[in-house]
């Protein structure tokens, strides 16, 4: 009697059972259903694929997996077998493939090729890292290069400090030092310190710097539009001081104060906003926007206006939505004696650098 042919379902089951005893590393669209992702939802892009690592039980391989799960936050696993899933990005490809490449695993060609390409880049960084030289940008993506040249112009003494200021935002690895040193001679001391920052978040102490110093740096670095966060407790004082510092650079018509206070206790604040002509709607010409630390106004979100820099007048706790909204900014200045310790748990904590 001849054997009954295997159905497609039988073949799929046999393949699945055989993979339980195979050492495989593959790219998959998503983990098996029921796996709990070990990462805050808002920090994990939903369209990013996963690296699936499966193997029969082996103590030495488990030790490697445990080390990887300490280093990689975005991972999950399937309790029904030794299957682990890691978010597929360049950093994780280097870590996962690097850890198992000599352990007898069958690895997807796509992952192997990406790993080999990444290791070559690391060995020859100078051939790949974005560098700013006199009159030219080296190793930049065409879109980024075109944007920077249109925004700042070809690198030269008069604008090289602006390029340095945007190093964090655009991943600029190196800048022509002789050009930079010449450019730094023409800017203020605070500007020199700001462009040398290693963190997007900085603390600027009132005992060292005035609001006039900050505004001058923003003008020198072409860092408008500016978002200013104020406390409702000191709103009138802060608005007057900031408006005075900005007044010679920014027209009142280019300023929008997007909150009001209770007239019974804060009529003077609302009157000042009206009398100074700061009660404007936000549009593409708006250079300065003031918001309360307690609320992210819907009109601001609908306007699609985006700040080039953020100034926090005080180191108080701000509303979580505002914290998320400004998190991508590469220049957030805390103007106070100490930086706030409040940061939402859903985002990676940033170091605050004191200038």
- Phi, psi at residue 114, to the nearest 5°? -65, -40
Q: Is 325 helix (H, G, I), strand (E, B) or coil?
A: helix
Which one, of 324, 256, 251, lies nearest residue 290 by Cα? Answer: 256
CB atoms within 10 A of CB 319: 16
- Please give the average per-residue pLDDT across 152-157, as a whole number: 97
Please state, rounded to an integer, the average pLDDT across all residues of the chain. Answer: 87
| Rounded percentage of the chain residues whose pLDDT exceeds 90 | 66
- Please give the average per-residue pLDDT across 341-346, as a whole number: 51
Task: Compute the distance between CA of residue 289 and CA of residue 278 in angstroms, rounded to an integer.
Answer: 9
Residues 76-135 have pLDDT tens digits of 888 666 789 999 999 999 999 999 999 999 999 999 999 999 999 888 888 889 999 999
The answer to whether residues 47 and 90 touch, using CB atoms and an 8 Å cutoff, is no
Whether pLDDT at 72 is above 90: no
- Please give the average per-residue pLDDT across 43-53, as a whole number: 72
DSSP code string of 79-144: TTTTEEEEE-SHHHHHHHHHHHTTTT-EE-HHHHHHHHHHHHHHHTGGGTS-EEETTEEES--HHH
The answer to whether residues 336 and 314 touch, using CB atoms and an 8 Å cutoff, is yes
Q: Is 17 helix (H, G, I), strand (E, B) or coil?
A: helix
Better pLDDT: 238 or 320: 238
The answer to whether residues 214 and 190 touch, using CB atoms and an 8 Å cutoff, is yes
Where in the chain are all domains bearing CATH 3.40.50?
189-354
Strands 174-175 and 131-133: parallel
**Per-residue model confidence (pLDDT) at position 321:** 87
**Per-residue model confidence (pLDDT) at position 340:** 63
Better pLDDT: 88 or 338: 88
CA count, 13 A, side-chain hemisphere, 310: 26
Q: Is 55 helix (H, G, I), strand (E, B) or coil?
A: coil
Residue 94 C-alpha from the chain's centroid: 21
Whether pLDDT at 227 is above 60: yes
**Per-residue model confidence (pLDDT) at position 308:** 97
Whether pLDDT at 46 is above 70: no
Which one, of 144, 176, 173, 142, lies nearest residue 159 by Cα? Answer: 176
Residues 209-224 have pLDDT tens digits of 999 999 999 999 999 9
Residues 271-308 have pLDDT tens digits of 999 999 999 999 999 999 999 999 999 999 999 899 99
Q: Tell me the helices (H) and strands (E) count for the chain, helix number first.
A: 14, 15
Indicate the pLDDT class of residue 2, thresholds 50, 70 and 90. very low
CATH fold of 189-354 reads Rossmann fold (3.40.50)
Whether pLDDT at 39 is above 80: no
Whether pLDDT at 237 is above 70: yes
**Per-residue model confidence (pLDDT) at position 37:** 52
CA count, 13 A, side-chain hemisphere, 54: 21
Residues 166-202 have pLDDT tens digits of 999 999 999 999 999 999 999 999 999 999 999 999 9
Task: Compute the distance between CA of residue 40 and CA of residue 342 in angstroms, rounded to an integer.
Answer: 18
Whether pLDDT at 163 is above 60: yes
**Per-residue model confidence (pLDDT) at position 313:** 94
| pTM of model > 0.75 | no
**Per-residue model confidence (pLDDT) at position 6:** 42
**Neighbour-count burial of 123, counting CB atoms closer than 10 A to its CB (0-12 exposed, 13-18 middle, 19+ buried):** exposed
CA count, 13 A, side-chain hemisphere, 183: 24
**Per-residue model confidence (pLDDT) at position 319:** 82
The answer to whether residues 229 and 322 touch, using CB atoms and an 8 Å cutoff, is yes
**Per-residue model confidence (pLDDT) at position 81:** 66
The answer to whether residues 289 and 305 touch, using CB atoms and an 8 Å cutoff, is yes
Task: Compute the distance between CA of residue 230 and CA of residue 294 in angstroms, rounded to an integer.
Answer: 9
The answer to whether residues 54 and 19 touch, using CB atoms and an 8 Å cutoff, is yes
Indicate the pLDDT class of residue 9, thresholds 50, 70 and 90. very low
H or E segment and range at residue 34: none
């Amino acid at each position: 009697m001849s054997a009954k042919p295997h159905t497609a379902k039988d073949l799929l089951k046999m393949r699945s059972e055989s993979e339980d005893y195979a050492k495989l590393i593959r790219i998959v669209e998503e983990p098996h259903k029921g796996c709990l992702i070990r990462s805050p939802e808002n920090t994990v892009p939903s369209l990013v694929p996963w690296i699936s690592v499966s193997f029969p039980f082996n103590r030495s391989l488990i030790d490697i997996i445990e080390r990887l799960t300490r280093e990689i936050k975005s991972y999950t696993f399937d309790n029904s077998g030794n299957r682990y899933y890691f978010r597929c990005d360049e950093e994780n490809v280097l870590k996962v493939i690097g850890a198992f490449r000599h352990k007898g695993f069958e690895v997807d060609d796509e992952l192997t090729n990406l790993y080999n390409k990444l290791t070559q880049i690391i060995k020859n960084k100078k051939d790949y890292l974005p560098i700013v030289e006199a009159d030219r940008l080296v190793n930049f993506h065409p879109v980024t290069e075109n944007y920077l040249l249109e925004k700042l112009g070809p690198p030269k003494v008069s604008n090289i400090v602006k390029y340095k200021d945007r190093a964090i935002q655009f991943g600029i690895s190196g800048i022509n030092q002789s050009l930079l040193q010449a450019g730094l001679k023409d800017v203020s001391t605070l500007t020199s310190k700001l462009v040398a920052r290693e963190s997007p978040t900085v603390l600027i102490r009132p005992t060292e710097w005035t609001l006039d110093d900050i505004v001058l740096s923003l003008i020198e670095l072409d860092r408008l539009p500016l978002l200013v966060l104020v406390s409702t407790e000191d709103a009138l004082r802060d608005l007057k001081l900031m408006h005075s510092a900005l007044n010679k650079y920014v027209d009142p018509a280019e300023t929008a104060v997007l909150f009001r206070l209770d007239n019974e206790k804060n009529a003077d604040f609302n009157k000042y906003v009206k009398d100074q002509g700061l009660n404007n709607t936000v549009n593409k010409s708006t250079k300065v926007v003031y918001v309360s630390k307690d609320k992210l106004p819907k009109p601001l979100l609908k306007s699609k206006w985006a700040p080039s820099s953020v100034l926090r007048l005080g180191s108080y706790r701000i509303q979580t939505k505002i914290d998320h909204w400004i998190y991508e900014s590469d220049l957030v200045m805390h103007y106070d004696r100490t930086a706030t310790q409040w940061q939402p748990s859903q985002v990676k904590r940033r170091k605050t650098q004191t200038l």
